[in-house]
Amino acid sequence: MNEQISALLDGEMAIEDAAHIFTAVQSSKQAAEAWSQYHLIGDAMRGDAILSAQFKQKLMQKIEMEATVLAPNAALVSQVAEVKRRSKTPVVWSVAASFAAVMVVGWMVLHQQSQSGSELAPVEVALAVGTQDGAIDQGIPAEYLNAHHASAPSVSSYYIQNASYKE
Amino acid sequence: MKHFVMVRLFAIAALFASLSVQANTDGDLWQVLQKTAVAAHALSYQGIFYYQAGEKAQPVQITHLFNGSGEFSRNVVLDNSPREVFSLGRDLVIFNPKNEKIIIEKRHGQNMFPAILPTNLDAIKENYSLRAGEPERVAGRAAQMLFLEPKDSLRYSYQFWIDTEYGLLLKSVMFNSRNEALESIAFNQLALMDTLDLDWFQPKIDNKKSYVMEDEVATIADNGVSTGWTLKGLPAGFRKVDQMIRMVHGKTLPVTHLIFSDGLASVSLFIEPITKNIKPRVGHKLVGSTSFYASVTDGYQVTVVGEVPEVTVAQIANAVVFKK
């Protein structure tokens, strides 16, 4: 199953041929986990442009309008293709070369699972990460240190856990 | 296709092998460092290295693969809550466990070991000189040692151990002017990989935890046409490499953020107007290799942070001149 999801995401399987995957994903916990894993990496690597709230909203509306979502219709596929065409992100990310497929599978799974009352928790997105205020790390204010490490190359910032994450 | 890529990989390996490291002249040494800068990107390897700063030591497991067109790497920081850092080219994603959640952080263009050298060494050549040391063994490999020493007191010095056969950086130690080691990174075990498999290139998902994207700090590119201030008398060799306007935690107004680099070390400069509800900060601090300097000029808070000596951050802070 995972191989099939991967093949779909990598564009090795036509989305039209993947209806059975959507069905299986709906019922299989393992497959749902595999999806969420690919989805997370894809999201994280691709940046915000193509994950805009507007896009999600549109896609959700579109999906809700469809009576049967198991077979993606031409309009939906072309809309996704259009978004994909407009995005400037590279398509080399190996585990999920086709973002469009990820989105289609992903939102269908979420949608269907929530409808069927299944227990796959939707992935939380964009939750604020609190940082400690005031002086830390024996004196260098965290807010500036974090901003520095976020934007300027520094070897150390990865290997020693930043104090702002300690609670 | 796979076969073709393999051949290319072996060709690259052979190239490094043929670079018999008996370099003596200055030019030859820079050539060795140049190969080292490229090797970290172009070779496929896996191993464990230790990062050490002060009392803290951290083992990190690294897997790095170059398949002829793309560069993939996974770093697992092996502490109590293992963090996974994935990179594809210059894009980075960190899976950072925090309590019951895994925070997913995005970063861009970071210099992670062993790829700590830029592939263009021009800026480093301007600011540092290179000297050969004695051969030693690191992680069971024969290594050549190089001293990279600053031409002034504005930066730290480095000692590099470079794999004699493949050119890969095996160990790097950073020293201050009193020759005290501030930071050390060294392979403990290392092996080249001859696979193109990417099955390792995925996070370990913990179903009991929820995954959340880090709240991304809004940054706006800044064209550098500042209105209220100019820079005069920056420390030698430091050039502005980036400028943006960003939100900083705890600040209500956006902060101008400039980044300077001398090729190896980076320094951040923050400029913000002082508002009524925020207490201005003045002072300096050195923690490990990171220097911090804060001053107040003409109603602005100027803050500088970087992995450089204190004199350098002070000089950058003082380079900000506000127009009357």
For position B18, which CATH number holds? Answer: 2.50.20.10
User: pLDDT value at position B324?
Assistant: 72
d(CA B147, CA A64): 64
Set of chain B residues whose Cβ sits within 8 Å of the Cβ of A48: 216
Do B28 and B111 fall into the same domain?
yes
Q: Given pLDDT bands bounded at 50, 70 and 90, which one contains residue A164?
A: very low
Burial of B55 (0-12, 13-18, 19+ CB in 10 A): exposed
**For residue B294, which of A130, B285, B148 has the smallest C-alpha distance?**
B285
CB contact under 8 Å between B215 and A36, yes or no, is: no
Percent of chain B whose predicted confidence (pLDDT) is above 70: 90
**pLDDT score for B90:** 83
Q: Per mean pLDDT, which range of B167-176, B216-225, B309-318 is the poorest?
A: B216-225
Weakest-pLDDT range from A85-99, B80-94, B212-226, B296-310 = A85-99
In 3D space, the residue among B102, B83, B82, B98 whose CA is nearest the CA of residue B210 turns out to be B102
- Domain ends where: B186, B212, B238? B212
Q: What's the average model confidence in pLDDT over B279-306?
A: 91
Q: Which of A70, A9, A77, A71 has the alpha carbon at shortest distance from A37?
A: A9
Does residue B206 sit in the same domain as residue B249? no
3-state secondary structure of A91: coil
Residues of chain A with Cβ-Cβ distance to B290 below 8 Å are: 140, 145, 156
Tokens read off for B191: 């092996």
- Among the candidates B212, B245, B276, a domain finishes at B212
The reply to whether residue A44 touches residue B72, judged by beta carbons under 8 angstroms, is: no
Which of A82-96, B223-237, B255-269 is least confident? A82-96
Nearest-5° angle of CA B1, CA B4, CA B5?
A: 90
In this complex, do A156 and B53 lie within 8 Å of one another by their Cβ atoms? yes
Asked if B219's CB is within 8 angstroms of A151's CB, the reply is yes
Beta bridge partners of B286: B291
Q: Which residue has the higher pLDDT, B54 or B129?
A: B129
Region label for B304, one of left (φ > 0), alpha (ψ between -120 and 50) or beta (otherwise): beta
Task: Please indicate whether residue A133 or residue B12 has the higher confidence score (pLDDT).
Answer: B12
Tell me the nearest-neighbour CA distance from A94 into chain B, angstroms.
Answer: 8
Lowest mean pLDDT segment, chosen from A138-147, B113-122, B286-295: A138-147
Average pLDDT of the residues in B167-180 = 96
* pLDDT value of position A141: 85
Interchain contact, B203 vs A143, CB within 8 Å: no
Are B64 and B187 in a shared domain? yes
Yes or no: say if A142 and A134 are a contact pair by the CB < 8 Å rule.
Answer: yes
pLDDT higher than threshold 60 for residue A139? yes
What are the chain B neighbours of A141 within 8 Å (beta carbons)? Answer: 281, 292, 303
Task: Name the 3-class secondary structure at B131.
Answer: strand
The confidence score (pLDDT) of residue B92 equals 87
Q: What local confidence, expressed as pLDDT, does residue B98 receive?
A: 85
Least confident of A80-89, B53-62, B90-99: A80-89
**A26 pLDDT band (50/70/90 cuts)?**
low
Query: Rounded to the nearest 5°, which phi and psi values hold at B265?
Result: -95, 145
B72/B180 same-domain check: yes
Burial of B157 (0-12, 13-18, 19+ CB in 10 A): middle
Check whether residue B184 and residue B92 sit in a common domain. yes
Instruction: Decide if B56 and A160 are in contact by the 8 Å CB cutoff.
Output: yes
- The answer to whether residues B253 and B119 belong to one domain is no
Phi then psi for residue B318, to 5 deg, are: -75, -10
In the predicted model, what is the mean pLDDT of chain A? 51
Claim to verify: residue B64 and residue B202 sit in the same structural domain: yes
Q: Tell me: the pLDDT tens digits for B253-291?
A: 889 999 999 989 999 999 998 887 778 889 999 988 899
Which helix (H) or strand (E) element contains residue A138? none
| Number of domains comprising chain B | 2
At residue B234, the pLDDT reads: 95
| B288: chain A residues, CB-CB within 8 Å | 156
Which residue out of B268, B286, B316 would a mutagenesis test of the A interface target, given it has the greatest number of A Cβ atoms within 10 Å?
Answer: B268
Q: What is the pLDDT of residue A116?
A: 39
CATH code of residue B280: 3.30.200.100
Q: Report the range of poorest mean pLDDT among A71-80, A120-129, B88-97, B181-190.
A: A120-129
Residue predicted with more confidence, B165 or A89: B165
Per DSSP bridges, beta strands B210-213 and B101-108 are parallel
Q: Quick check: ipTM above 0.85? A: no
Q: Are B203 and A159 a contacting pair at CB < 8 A? A: no
Return the half-sphere exposure (C-beta side, CA atoms, 13 A cut-off) of residue A130: 7
Percent of chain A scoring above 90 in pLDDT:
0
Q: Could you tell me the pTM of the whole model?
A: 0.67
- Would you place residue B226 in the very low, low, confident or very high pLDDT band (cuts 50, 70, 90)? low
Question: What pLDDT was estimated at residue B225?
Answer: 66
Confidence of residue A163 (pLDDT cuts 50, 70, 90): very low
B277 and B142 within one domain: no
Number of CB atoms found within 10 A of residue B244's CB: 19
Closest CA to A27 of A102, A121, A120, A106: A120
B249 in the same domain as B199 = no
Q: Which residue of B has its CA nearest to A153?
A: B110
What separation in angstroms does the CA of B189 have from each of A27, B123, B127, B186?
Answer: 44, 31, 32, 9
Q: Residues 6 or more apart from B15 whose CB is under 8 A from it?
A: none
B91 neighbourhood in chain A, CB within 8 Å:
45
How far is B142 from B147, CA to CA, in rounded Å? 17
- State the CB neighbour count (10 A cutoff) for residue B286: 17
The mean-pLDDT minimum among A112-126, B78-92, B178-192 falls in: A112-126
| B173 and B224 both lie in a single domain | no
What's the pLDDT score for residue A125? Answer: 27
Backbone angles phi, psi at B255, to 5 degrees: -115, 140
Say whether the peptide bond before residue B114 is cis (omega within 30 degrees of 0). Answer: yes
Q: Specify whether B72 is located in the same domain as B157.
A: yes
Average of per-residue pLDDT values in chain B: 87
pLDDT digit string, tens, across residues A41-69: 555 554 433 344 454 555 555 555 544 43
**Contact criterion met (CB < 8 Å) for B288 and A37:** no
Sequence-separated (6 or more) residues with CB below 8 Å from residue B291 = B284, B285, B304, B305, B306, B307, B308, B309, B310, B312, B313
A131: pLDDT strictly greater than 50: no
Range of the domain at B255: 217-322
Last residue of a domain, one of B192, B212, B232: B212
Beta-carbon contacts below 8 Å between A and B: 167
Q: Which residues of B touch A39 (CB under 8 A)?
A: none
Test A147 with B85 for CB contact under 8 angstroms: no
Residues B55 and B172 occupy one common structural domain: yes
Mean pLDDT of B48-76: 91
Q: Which residue from B107, B219, B249 is facing A143, i.e. has the nearest CB? A: B249
Q: Which of B2-11, B285-294, B298-307 has the lowest mean pLDDT?
A: B2-11
Contact list in B for residue A150 (CB cut-off 8 A) is: 107, 217
